[in-house]
Amino acid sequence: MTNHDSGPPAAKAVDLTKVYGAGDTQVVALDGVTVDFIASQFTAIMGPSGSGKSTLMHCMAALDTPTSGQVFIGDVELSALNDKKLTRLRRDRIGFVFQAFNLVPTLTARENITLPLDIAGTRVDRDWFETIISTVGLSDRLKHKPNELSGGQQQRVACARALLSKPEIVFADEPTGNLDSRSGAEVLAFLRRSVREFGQTIVMVTHDPGAAAHADRVLFLGDGRLVDEMIDPTAEKVLERMKGFDAVGTGQVG
Amino acid sequence: MLRATLKSLLARKLRLGMSAFAVVLGVAFVTGSYVFTDTLNRTFSDLFSDLHADVLVRPAAPEGQDSFAALAGTTSVSIPADLVGEIAALPGVADAYGEIESGGVGVLDQDGDIVGVMGGPGLGVGYDPDTFADDSVVTVVDGRGPEGPGEVAIDARTVDKAGLDVGDEVDLVTLGSEPRLSAELVGVLQFGGDDDGLAGATMTAFDMRTAQELFLDGEDAYTIISVIAASDVSAEELRDTVAAVLPDSLEASTGADVDDEMISAVEEGLGFFNTFLLVFAAVALFVGIFMILNTFSILVAQRSREMALLRALGARRSQITRSVMIESFVVGLIGSTLGLAAGLGLARLMQVIFGALGMEFSGSLVLAPRTVIVAFAVGIVVTMVAALAPARRASKVPPVAAMRDDMAITGSSRRNHGLLGGLLTAAGVAAMVAGLADAVPEALLFVGLGILTTFVGVALLAPIISVPLIQVITGWYSAAFGTTGRLARQNAMRNPRRTAATASALMIGLALVSAIAVVGASTKKSIDEALDEGLHADFVITNNTAGEPFSPTVADSARDIAGVDTVTSIRSAFAVVEGSQETITAIEPDAFAVASDFDIVEGSGDLAGGGAVVGDGREDDVAIGDTVTIEMAGASTEVPVIGYYDSDSPLLSGGYIVGFDTFTQVGAPTVDTTVLVIAASGAELGAIETGLTEATAELPMVTVRNHEDYRQSQRDELDQLLNIVYALLGLAILVAILGIVNTLALSVMERTREVGLLRAVGLSRRQLRTTIRLESIAIAVLGAVLGIGLGLGFGISLQRALADEGLASLDVPISQLVVFLVLAAVVGILAAVWPARRAARLNVLRAITTE
Ligand SMILES: Nc1ncnc2c1ncn2[C@@H]1O[C@H](COP(=O)(O)OP(=O)(O)O)[C@@H](O)[C@H]1O
Ligand SMILES: [Mg+2]
């Protein structure tokens, strides 16, 4: 894929392949994906269920090891790193938001947000913390435990955590998948603001065309391959494109 | 429903397997105890069956004599030789012959040590070529029988162990006037049909005349007459015929009765041993209940979704309860089966260990039906009882929980449990105090049940008190370990009930250990103080096997040593006094009063007149002026009670004390159990000690100790006992440790997602392990704090209650308790090893995507 903006990519995959299982049950989840994620851009990834979106996220975020191909975060190639270095890389340079279960139930919202920094033993940048908290709108909820927060609030706490360590890139796998549309919109607005205002790089998987429309660029995955991309998407254009998938019969959007 | 239950059981093999482990351990111990003692019993009954002739004539056993005393007891009463001819002439008698059997004969090996187990009986017998030829029980298998003084035959196993050969000179020790003998080994004896040996005993045969010299002061007499029935006469008929001609001091019994008597004596002794082991098995099982309860609670909590779904689909509450109970039944069944197998292994192991210690008892293990029934009953009942509470809780999961996301079974009112726990604790303490104060009948039962109830009560209270305690225990975690510490602290507190149940298991073990430590230290201190105040002798000579007698020549040779002022002996023997089994003691009052304390609180202490004194604790039972009947085998003597003595004296037990003459008169053998030596003032103690040691050098079973050594030996003796108890309680602690492992492992599985998340956001494997280790330490230390606290309470109350019975001073062994606390922390670290490794190995991705 070509670069659309100037500057080096925040992360990239080169000929990334991921195969699960062997023999009869073998599944090729990613089939030679090569892609750049441009710094300070909001990239959305779409595709039918089972097309390899989550697998791509996991491989990019150093949570899973590819079968072949390379993954770069900045200019660091992940396959060269041992577990210890990967852990540190995740801690210091990558942020995540999962679809659910993002928070440690025994810790308060504030403790959850500062968790990666606490683990690293790094000082929390107070100004940056305040900025994030006010952006995410959680100032009065910091002392609450996760089970005292709504789903949308929990996801916003997770987003705040992902951003606090100023990672080079944030991966979010269907962060709004479990939320009602209003809560989802809040989370999306926050992610978008962090790209616009703080220059954060974000890659987000979603199956909601409306959510994808917040992105600068949408990548479409199908059967483990990158099948298309769209710059400056709108909800209508995305929906149109997704219908194409249904027509081909690749499966349902999910 | 049953299918669903069994399926979910299979799906959780590992977790349930771990909880079954507690059952396995407990049942193994129960089974092991039974199998081992049954096997020992079988060995002895084989040994004693068909041992005797049709009818035996022996000194008459007094009514009320315990069978163990009959077996161990020696008497100076003998049977005159002419009686043999008289009996042989009776109608129905085919043959009659006299025999001599005595104890206290030790065979020395090349190093001069006595062969055989400590305390294992050393039999000395008289050899008669005629009877030994007919006798199928003992045969000469090598060489020949002894034919005169200076010749002996010894059983094959002892010959083997001592490294002797026929023709060698062999050294022997006896209790008699010639305590050290040397003789030629002329023959090897075999006992029984095969070389099973004597289960630790040794047997030395002298020719009959020599045996009479050694054991019966040279009288032409025997200790037993064996009578063989003519072919048409039954043993019972023969017994009655023989009994008719016997004096009162002798009795006739059939050989079969004597066999049974010996077997039941052994059974009684082993029964005590068995009970002792079973008590520890019970403690381990009790601790196991907590572990099983916890496992089921966690499993139920993890499956609350599944249960809610079943409820939503129409399952009744009772069906849910039943499914958990069935699960526990299966776990109990499997645990018991494995435990039974492990128990057999344990018994075999004990057999090997005993064999290595010199007490061989060969043959296959005895697995009685009773053992199997008890094993399964105990295993299954314990498991199901433990699963009861979790099963009830499971049935309370509302169907709606199936739809909710973060559903946890919220604790059924913790306050109710706290209230119940408080009540039980109070009731338990009250029962214990009542028992200790002897305010109730069956005091011991009250104390035992009181302790048990207190444990349950405190365990119920534990979820409430554990929160502040954990807060204190983990107070330094954050400061020392940062986030890792904080996570560990939160994890230890997030489920107080689970943490408390896990810690309670350890609490029980440690409470018992601490209580024993307190009682042990207090006993040592009390003994020390009593000996400081009440033992004035400079040297004490005793048998290495506590309480066993030795030859009175030891005292005589002590008297000959320069610088020795006073030498006096203590003698003791089993006797039946007023129909009940007692140990009577003989002293020389004047000399004894110099060497130790002998204070008469009322009446007279002049034992020379033939009277007896008794401890002041028994004022209510006997009055001064009463006459008591002291009976030993073949002898019955009336002795007047002339006074009460102060039973606080460290060497006196509080029982009957007589003078030496009376002692001999009632039929007790003239052997010493303790010799006390006082140096002349100004004498060089070192020289006397050397002299005494040299004088007793040829009697390896006797040890000379100075005042301080004697004190130390008393402490060592107690320490040995304490160490055995600690080792057995270790079993309960092992179960508790497994409980911690289990809880942690289950908690880690339960928190799989969370662990994955933490790893995803950058927690290193090492940090993760530290978190789990710190949580484990918190649980273990909580258990230790509760346990040591309770143990202190128990120990101090016990000491208070026993203050009048020799436990006068309280000593709290602080350093030992601190060691327990530190060990508990170490236990925590060890218990966390496996769960931590498991957690660290979790695949981050799999953890996050886990359902
Ligand atoms: N751990 C796994 N083992 C085997 N197959 C897997 C595993 N994870 C994902 N897959 C398969 O890989 C393919 C891609 O999965 P995924 O990346 O989760 O898709 P998406 O997130 O786009 O729905 C699917 O066919 C899925 O079944
Ligand atoms: Mg997915």
Whether residue B761 and residue A96 make contact (CB cut-off 8 A), yes or no, is yes
Predicted pLDDT at A3? 42
Of B258, B271, B263, nearest to B101 (Cα)? B258
Of B689, B699, B681, nearest to B561 (Cα)? B689
pLDDT in tens for each of the 254 residues of chain A? 444 455 678 999 999 999 988 888 899 999 999 999 999 999 999 999 999 999 999 899 888 889 999 999 998 999 888 888 888 888 889 988 888 777 888 888 998 898 888 888 888 899 989 988 988 888 888 999 888 888 888 888 998 999 888 899 999 988 888 888 888 888 898 899 889 988 999 999 998 888 898 899 999 999 999 999 999 888 888 888 888 775 554 444 43
In which residue are the tokens 């280790």 written?
Answer: B773
Predicted pLDDT at B773? 93
Predicted pLDDT at A251? 43
- Residue B548 β-bridge partners: none
Region B292-300 average pLDDT: 81
Identify the band that residue B776 occupies on the pLDDT scale cut at 50, 70 and 90. very high
Predicted pLDDT at B133? 63
Predicted pLDDT at B186? 92
B244 φ/ψ angles, rounded to the nearest 5 degrees: -60, -30
Region B1-22 average pLDDT: 68
Region B361-370 average pLDDT: 82
CA–CA dist B166, B156 (Å, integer): 11
Whether residue A115 and residue B761 make contact (CB cut-off 8 A), yes or no, is yes
What are the start-end ranges of the H helices in A38-150? 53-60, 83-93, 109-120, 126-136
Predicted pLDDT at B1? 58
Region B350-364 average pLDDT: 75
Identify the band that residue B273 occupies on the pLDDT scale cut at 50, 70 and 90. confident
Predicted pLDDT at B568? 92
B410 φ/ψ angles, rounded to the nearest 5 degrees: -75, 140
- Residue B550 β-bridge partners: B672
Q: Which residues of B371-402 are buried (b: 16+ CB within 10 A; e: fewer)?
A: beebbbebbbebbbebbebbbbbbbebeeebb
CB B618 within 8 A of CB B601: no
What is the CB neighbour count within 10 angstroms for residue B185?
Answer: 23
- Residue B686 β-bridge partners: none
A87: nearest CB among B406, B762, B849? B762
Orientation of helix A109-120 relative to helix B477-494, angle to 10°? 130
Predicted pLDDT at B696? 84
Whether residue B486 and residue A92 make contact (CB cut-off 8 A), yes or no, is no
Residue B9 has pLDDT above 80, yes or no: no
CB A229 within 8 A of CB A27: no
Region B481-503 average pLDDT: 87
CA–CA dist B651, B570 (Å, integer): 9
- Residue B583 β-bridge partners: B574
Whether residue A88 and residue B753 make contact (CB cut-off 8 A), yes or no, is no
Find all residues with CB under 8 Å of A35, minimum gap 6, and list them: A1, A12, A13, A16, A219, A226
Predicted pLDDT at A35? 94
Fold classification of A9-103+166-248 is Rossmann fold (3.40.50)
Q: Which pLDDT tens digit goes with each residue over B613-669? A: 998 888 888 888 889 999 888 788 899 999 999 888 888 888 899 999 999 888 888
CA–CA dist B365, B336 (Å, integer): 18
Find all residues with CB under 8 Å of B662, minimum gap 6, and list them: B586, B607, B610, B611, B612, B637, B639
Rounded (5°) CA angle B329-B332-B338:
145
Least confident window among A120-124, B471-475, B708-712: A120-124
Is A2 at the interface with chain B, CB within 8 A? no
Is B770 at the interface with chain A, CB within 8 A? no
Q: Which pLDDT tens digit goes with each residue over B576-608? A: 888 888 889 999 988 888 888 888 888 888 888
What is the ipTM for the molecules in this complex? 0.78
Find all residues with CB under 8 Å of A158, minimum gap 6, and list them: A97, A98, A102, A103, A112, A175
Of B476, B473, B435, B472, nearest to B452 (Cα)? B435
CA–CA dist B593, B605 (Å, integer): 11
Whether residue A106 and residue B483 make contact (CB cut-off 8 A), yes or no, is no
A58: nearest CB among B490, B758, B845? B845
Of B213, B195, B74, nearest to B146 (Cα)? B213
B651 φ/ψ angles, rounded to the nearest 5 degrees: -100, -5
CA–CA dist B366, A177 (Å, integer): 67
Residue B117 has pLDDT above 50, yes or no: yes
Length, in residues, of chain B: 851
Helix (H, G, I), strand (E, B) or coil at B22: helix
CA–CA dist B160, B115 (Å, integer): 10
Region B345-367 average pLDDT: 80
Whether residue A120 and residue B759 make contact (CB cut-off 8 A), yes or no, is no
| A125 min Cα distance to partner chain B (Å) | 17
The tokens describing A161, both together, are 């955590």
E-state strands within A87-216: 94-97, 169-173, 202-205
CA distance to B14, B247, B259, B334, B412, per residue, from B417 (Å) = 30, 71, 57, 31, 9
Region B271-281 average pLDDT: 83
Question: What share of chain B has pLDDT > 70, as a percent?
Answer: 91
CB B756 within 8 A of CB B472: no
Element (H, E) at B545: none
Orientation of helix B317-356 relative to helix B369-395, angle to 10°? 150
The tokens describing A87, both together, are 């852990």
Do the bridges between strand B106-107 and strand B169-173 make them parallel or antiparallel, or are there none, so unpaired? antiparallel
CA–CA dist B436, B728 (Å, integer): 24
Length, in residues, of chain A: 254
Region B230-253 average pLDDT: 87
Q: Read out DSSP for B779-820?
A: HHHHHHHHHHHHHHHHHHHHHHHTGGGT--S----HHHHHHH
CA–CA dist B699, A94 (Å, integer): 83
CB B194 within 8 A of CB B155: no
Least confident window among A38-52, B40-54, B225-239, B251-265: B40-54
Q: Which pLDDT tens digit goes with each residue over B550-575? A: 888 888 888 888 888 989 999 988 88
- B791 CA distance to ligand 1 middle (Å): 57
Q: Read out DSSP for B217-262?
A: TT-SEESEEEEEE-TT--HHHHHHHHHHT--TTEEEEEHHHHHHHH
Do the bridges between strand B627-632 and strand B612-615 make them parallel or antiparallel, or are there none, so unpaired? unpaired
Extents of the domains making up chain A: 9-103+166-248
E-state strands within B348-470: none
Which numbered atom of ligand 1 lies nearest the CA of A58? 17
pTM attached to this predicted model: 0.78
- Residue B277 β-bridge partners: none
In which residue are the tokens 């996220």 written?
Answer: A57
Ligand lying closest to the C-alpha of residue A58 = 1
Predicted pLDDT at A2? 42
Task: Tell me which of A17, A25, A27 to substitute to probe ligand 1's pocket, judged by most ligand atoms within 8 Å of the beta carbon.
Answer: A27
Q: Is A29 in the pocket of ligand 1 (CB under 6 A)?
A: yes
CA–CA dist B358, B157 (Å, integer): 10
Is A83 at the interface with chain B, CB within 8 A? yes
Find all residues with CB under 8 Å of B245, minimum gap 6, and list them: B86, B87, B90
Residue B363: left (phi > 0), alpha (psi -120 to 50), or beta?
left
Of B122, B193, B192, B135, nearest to B161 (Cα)? B122
* Mean pLDDT over the full length of chain B: 84
Is B752 at the interface with chain A, CB within 8 A? no
Q: Which pLDDT tens digit goes with each residue over B246-263? A: 888 888 888 888 888 888
What is the CB neighbour count within 10 angstroms for residue B312?
Answer: 15
CB B549 within 8 A of CB B73: no
The tokens describing A6, both together, are 């100037």
Predicted pLDDT at A252? 41
Residue B407 has pLDDT above 60, yes or no: no
Chain B residues with CB under 8 Å of A98 CB are 757, 848
- A29 CA distance to ligand 1 middle (Å): 6
Sign of the Cα torsion B681, B684, B686, B690 reads negative
Is B762 at the interface with chain A, CB within 8 A? yes
Predicted pLDDT at B59? 85
CB B502 within 8 A of CB B812: no
Q: Is A136 in the pocket of ligand 1 (CB under 6 A)?
A: no
